[in-house]
Amino acid sequence: MLNPAKSCSNSTAGSFQRKFQISSLLVKQMHGCSPSSSVFFFGLHCLSVCPPLGMESHRIENDQLLTSSVYQHRYSSHRARLNIQASGDEDDMNGGAWCANPEEKMHWIELDARTLTEFTGVITQGRDDPLDDYVSSYYVAFSNDSREWTVLDDGYAEWLFFGNSDKNTPVLSQFMEPVVARYIRILPQSWNGTMCMRMEVLGCPVPDPLSQYQSQNEVTHRDDLDYTHHNYLDMEKLMKSISDECPNITRFYSLGKSFKGLEIYAMEITDNPGMHETGEPEFRYTAGYHGNEALGREILLMLMQYLCREYKDDNPRVRHLVDETRIHLVPSVNPDGHMKAFEKGSELGSWTLGHWTEDGHDIFQNFPDLNNILWDAEDKGMVPKLIPNHHLPIPEGILSSNGSVAVETLALISWMESHPFVLGANLQGGERLVAYPFDMRRLTKESEEMEKKLNSRGEPEEEIRVIEDQSLFRWLAISYASTHRTMTQTFQGGCHADDPTGGLGIVNRAKWKPIPGSMNDFSYLHTNCFELSIFLGCDKFPHQSELLREWEHNREALLTFITQVHRGIKGVVRDKEGNPISNATVSVEGINHDVRTGESGDYWRLLNPGEYRVTARAEGYSPFTRLCVVGFDPGATLCNFDLNKSNWDRIKQIMALHGNRPIRLLSSGNRGSGQRYTHSTNQIPNSKFSNKIPNGNGGDMNRARLHRLRLMRIRRLRQQRLLASKTTMLPTTTTMTTTTVPTTTESTTPWYDSWRLGETFEENTTPTGEIELTDSLDYNYNYKIDDY
């Protein structure tokens, strides 16, 4: 194939170049720019740099790209997007760049902007691959009809642009003068390894005068926010200004410091900042775990401004959210990494620049691994008898200062433990979807065998380890994805591969890209908070001109997701005197994951609509179960619990005397009858139990008679042991002249015969009254780990 630029005649090329010059002059005059200046424009303003057209963000669609040839199908034209990532599977269609057929002599890639566009530059990048493939030099050509092409020159010779020197670092080449055209071509001239490249094109669409006239009378809504990127000092200044603007509903505070000593700032927004109100749930948004994912950072800064100003303007929806919810916003968890990415700027930082902390940690997957602890215990049948199904403790030594856990992670863990968060989400980038836990994937032996059978038949894999609240997590994820303007528009596939969400915009992280030690899994297993990951878009660090569009795409979804914290049931667990009970456990029948009450006894349990049997338990109190109904109307259902104190402490002392084994409390004749035993007021000093012992006839024995009975029983037991040693069992009958005691055939010693006279316990006060003992009592007997 001939070079399309070389095939043009000199007269045609000169005519085409004059058209470019005239078009550029008209555009500059239209916007009041100097004809001799090299300024660029966007909209109605003169700018020094035009933004990207959208190769990385996927605003440029696949059918707008055309190439001279393709090396393999997985390296086709749609893989030429800046920062696109290759999959590890060589058999799929997701290569790390566009690669040309090496048998061809001429190579080019073409972009159709679909409208007149003022092109100002090109960004190139090598292939995402273990091999070091990149383009080192290239020409740029333009056309208005894709047939007649003119190569950009300096008036003397065609302009050869220098490209990359490695495969990962993006390189920007700006044109001396902007060029107005519809089509642009990149013509590689030299390369390292295979001819492969990724790219982004900078340009400003030329406004159509007709469409501009038609839209003059249109009313378009735009929130009065700061749509710019902020460095660390600018972010600090903006957050302080928001706190000063709305002092009655905001609190500006810090979670701790980063590795380099920068504050990890947070903003609290509620009607009574600085304190937890009983019955008011706490919600959190966090962002900036990876410093080069700047979009989440700016989205939260815009959300702060929006909530402050709309609250002042009496927006009823915002006022209800702020008055009924304690909202925490943390825009930059990794400020050290963001400083690195910000220095390079949008589009020019690599995929990983600023991703990690200063000391090399990925904060999001730097949390203690509690999944394996829970799953190992489940496989052994130890949950929930020995290992709880919630609030799993962090193993000793993990949080020590040996460098395995980042200081930013430690600050987050301390923050999570000090606030009763109910719901949260972390904002990330590089994809456009919502991922719900579990984030870690592990298969049991049975599941591995099942998966092998399924794969051998070509059937899809099953999700083996499923989180207990999967249906709820799917709803939470859907609530964000469905209200986002573009998250469910997946007809072009995902950012780097095929759409993993099936068109829903949500995915289970363990099935998509499993990782260990994630914040989502840790939050679910160690606290009450349900956490999800929201991936805002393909471009981690979009151009500043994209921020307004991204805010409009996410605003409704952000507000809708906050309202989900008021879903399910809520209430307070108290004793009969009305005192709150902290650390009480609230369990839902059929869901093997509990929550705990806070310091003020309040709790929240996120649930989908339905009827649930809910049980509240606390140490020293009898459990109580009630039916709670969750409807479809907004707001959580109130479900309070008042617990009675139990006699469990006394029962544990009795069981300790019998080796922590269950004790038969009733005789065989009265078993299951619920007979009442009454404490006598004539008690042994400092004893919890009386000397009045019931018999089958309901009579009482005095202390002397009790002593004689015990002596007789001891003799009888000695005789039985002696007979047993001689392998001869004889019936034992004891007769006395004054009193006849019937022979006992039970092998278990009655509870009242196991105490010596004068035996005392640590507790010396016992309320007198009647205790009803029935077979239906459900005591939480102690278990030993050796039993498993």
Q: How far is CA 178 from CA 38, 48, 142, 543, in A?
A: 7, 11, 11, 19
pLDDT at 456: 52
In the predicted model, is pLDDT for residue 728 greater than 80? no
In the predicted model, is pLDDT for residue 165 greater than 50? yes
Task: Give the residues across from 611 on adjacent strands.
Answer: 629
3-class state of residue 515 by DSSP: coil
pLDDT at 399: 86
In the predicted model, is pLDDT for residue 448 greater than 80? no
- Which is more confidently placed, 22 or 278? 278
* Predicted model pTM: 0.78
Residue 533 CA to residue 652 CA, distance in Å, equals 45
Which DSSP symbol is given to 545? Answer: G
pLDDT at 490: 81
In the predicted model, is pLDDT for residue 734 greater than 90? no
- Which is more confidently placed, 784 or 166? 166
pLDDT at 492: 76
* Confidence band for 460, pLDDT divided at 50, 70 and 90: very low
Q: State the average pLDDT over residues 306-313.
A: 97
**Among 666, 618, 669, CA closest to 644:** 618
Residues in the chain: 788
In the predicted model, is pLDDT for residue 24 greater than 90? no
The burial class, CB within 10 Å (0-12 / 13-18 / 19+), for 212 is exposed
Q: State the average pLDDT over residues 445-472.
A: 70
- Which is more confidently placed, 752 or 306? 306
Question: Is the bond preceding residue 624 a cis peptide, omega within 30 degrees?
Answer: no
pLDDT at 744: 37
How many Cβ atoms are within 10 Å of 641's Cβ, its own excluded?
25
In the predicted model, is pLDDT for residue 105 greater than 50? yes
The burial class, CB within 10 Å (0-12 / 13-18 / 19+), for 506 is buried
DSSP of 99-150:
E--TT-S---EEEEEEEEEEEEEEEEE--SSSS--EEEEEEEEEESSSSS-E
In the predicted model, is pLDDT for residue 750 greater than 70? no
pLDDT at 699: 44
pLDDT at 343: 94
Q: Mean pLDDT across the chain, nearest whole number?
A: 82
Rg (CA), the chain: 37
3-class state of residue 180 by DSSP: strand
**Among 649, 700, 709, CA closest to 677:** 700
Q: What are the tens digits of pLDDT across the range 31-74?
A: 444 333 334 343 434 445 799 999 999 999 999 999 999 998 89
Question: How big is the CA angle at 585 (ends 581 and 589), to the nearest 5 degrees?
Answer: 140
Q: State the average pLDDT over residues 103-119.
A: 95
- Which is more confidently placed, 376 or 48? 376
Residue 50 CA to residue 39 CA, distance in Å, equals 9
- Which is more confidently placed, 76 or 396? 76
Instruction: Give me the percent of the chain exceeding a pLDDT of 70.
Output: 77
Q: How far is CA 56 from CA 135, 179, 348, 430, in A?
A: 18, 22, 12, 10
* Confidence band for 2, pLDDT divided at 50, 70 and 90: very low
Q: What are the tens digits of pLDDT across the range 581-634?
A: 999 999 999 999 999 999 999 999 999 999 999 999 999 899 999 999 999 998
pLDDT at 86: 93
52-57-61-67 Cα dihedral, nearest 10 degrees:
70
Phi, psi of 719 (to 5 degrees): -65, -40
In the predicted model, is pLDDT for residue 4 greater than 60? no
* Confidence band for 226, pLDDT divided at 50, 70 and 90: very high
3-class state of residue 231 by DSSP: coil
In this structure, what token pair is assigned to residue 656?
């300790």
Task: Give the residues across from 614 on adjacent strands.
Answer: 588, 626
Q: State the average pLDDT over residues 273-297.
A: 96
pLDDT at 70: 95
Q: State the average pLDDT over residues 739-761.
A: 36
688 touches 761 (CB < 8 A): yes
Q: State the average pLDDT over residues 644-664.
A: 77
pLDDT at 733: 43
In the predicted model, is pLDDT for residue 674 greater than 50? no
Q: What are the tens digits of pLDDT across the range 699-714?
A: 444 677 787 888 888 8
In this structure, of 29-38, 132-141, 308-317, 413-422, the range with the lowest mean pLDDT score is 29-38
Q: How far is CA 197 from CA 59, 133, 191, 626, in A?
A: 19, 8, 9, 64
Q: State the average pLDDT over residues 62-87.
A: 94
- Which is more confidently placed, 172 or 21? 172
* Confidence band for 222, pLDDT divided at 50, 70 and 90: confident
134 touches 125 (CB < 8 A): yes
For 683-740, the three-class secondary structure string (H helix, E strand, C coil) is ECCCCCCECCCCCCCCCCCCHHHHHHHHHHHHHHHHHHHHHHHCCCCCCCCCCCCCCC
Q: Compute CA 742 distance to the chain's CA centroid, rounded to the nearest angstrom.
A: 69
Q: Compute CA 380 distance to the chain's CA centroid, rounded to the nearest angstrom.
A: 28
pLDDT at 678: 40
